[in-house]
Amino acid sequence: MHAIPFYMHTALELPASLNFFLHPLQQLLPPISSGSNSTLSLAPSASIVVRQYALLLFVSCCVSLTFAVRPHHDNTTRRGAGALALYHLGPLARAISRLGNGESPFEGGLGGPAVHAVGHGMCFVALLAVCVGPSVDAGGEPNAVAAKKGK
């Protein structure tokens, strides 16, 4: 059961990483212009930064899958889940901010801010549960029980 939150993270972030990598400029709003006649443009490095973020998201999916396929749920797995849970606070806050700014809840890339808020909220809670839950050995028993049995 400890693997499900890691698969959830991958299912949520893999499409985002591909979208960010293939369409980096769609992720950015143009800067606010101070003059009415000035041209709005983004620095050429903006797409490079978004693509770098896309690669970080992809790597987080690789790390997440590594934890998902481990045969046991130990302290390292718990710490990995905690780190991934913390990540989800950022996109969750952004989605809530977008909703608060009046964006349409279900319009936009990959489902819109309402879908993002629910998805990142669920991932945060599920990964946090793995982080604070008991460690489990390969036999499915909590490590404290296995230690008492002499395993």
Q: Determine if residue 102 is left, alpha or beta; phi over 0 gives left, psi from -120 to 50 gives alpha, anything else beta.
A: left
Domain locations along the chain: 3-25+46-148
What's the pLDDT at 140? 60
Does pLDDT of 126 surpass 70? yes
What pLDDT digit, counting tens, does each position of 67-123 carry?
Answer: 999 988 899 999 999 999 999 999 999 999 989 988 777 776 667 889 999 999 999
CB-based contacts of 3, cutoff 8 Å, min separation 6: 67, 68, 69
Q: How far is CA 119 from CA 5, 30, 105, 139, in A?
A: 11, 26, 13, 31
d(CA 103, CA 108) in angstroms, rounded, equals: 9
DSSP code of residue 46: H
Q: Output 137 or 8, whichever has higher pLDDT.
A: 8
Q: End-to-end CA distance of the chain: give it in Å, rounded.
A: 21
What pLDDT digit, counting tens, does each position of 29-53 carry?
Answer: 666 555 555 555 667 788 899 999 9
What tokens appear for 44 in the block? 């050429």
* Contact (CB, 8 A) for 20 and 51: yes
Q: State if pTM tops 0.85.
A: no
Q: Determine if residue 136 is left, alpha or beta; phi over 0 gives left, psi from -120 to 50 gives alpha, anything else beta.
A: beta
- 23-62 per-residue burial string, b: 16 or more CB within 10 A, e: under 16: ebeebeeeeeeeeeeeeeeeeeeebeebbebbeebbebbe
